[in-house]
Amino acid sequence: GLDIKTLKILHECKEVYQFNRVELLLHMSQTIITKALEDQVITVAPPICSRVYQTLSRGFVNLLNAKKICDTRFPFPYAQLIAMLVLANVLLTPLIVSAFFQTKFWSFLFTF
């Protein structure tokens, strides 16, 4: 878990500075890893360490890409066009299908 001091910093970043807490936690994680490497608390080969940083960075980039997809609104003209085409499909399909089939049963079955 996180200690009280860290939680206060996270709350302050969100409320006072309008800063993204995920970026702050990523920075804290990278700082902790770097300090642990310098203090020789953990000893790993440099390629493995760079892979850890790369994985953290790639995860953050994927998070930002997902955020962009959520924040991008669907264009209004396309939404209107789709609604009109669906309406045309609903109105015209029974007429066209009834022209192809002679019985009401087959017309109903292929329309819906």
**Two structure tokens written together for 43:** 């000893």
**Two structure tokens written together for 71:** 């924040």
The predicted-structure confidence for 39-50, as pLDDT tens digits, reads as follows: 989 889 889 999
- Per-residue pLDDT band at 14 (split at 50, 70, 90): confident
Mean per-residue pLDDT, 7-17:
87
Backbone angles phi, psi at 71, to 5 degrees: -80, -20
DSSP symbol at 1: -
Cβ-proximal residues to 49 (8 Å cutoff; 6+ apart), any chain: 33, 37
The predicted-structure confidence for 28-37, as pLDDT tens digits, reads as follows: 899 999 999 9
Cβ-proximal residues to 33 (8 Å cutoff; 6+ apart), any chain: 42, 49, 52, 53
- The per-residue DSSP string of 29-59 comes to HHHHHHHHHHTTSS---HHHHHHHHHHHHHH
How far apart (Å, rounded) are the C-alpha atoms in residues 59 and 25? Answer: 13
The predicted-structure confidence for 56-97, as pLDDT tens digits, reads as follows: 999 999 999 998 998 889 899 999 999 999 999 999 988 888
Report pTM: 0.59
pLDDT at 50: 92
pLDDT at 53: 93
How far apart (Å, rounded) are the C-alpha atoms in residues 5 and 62? Answer: 29
Amino acid at 41: V
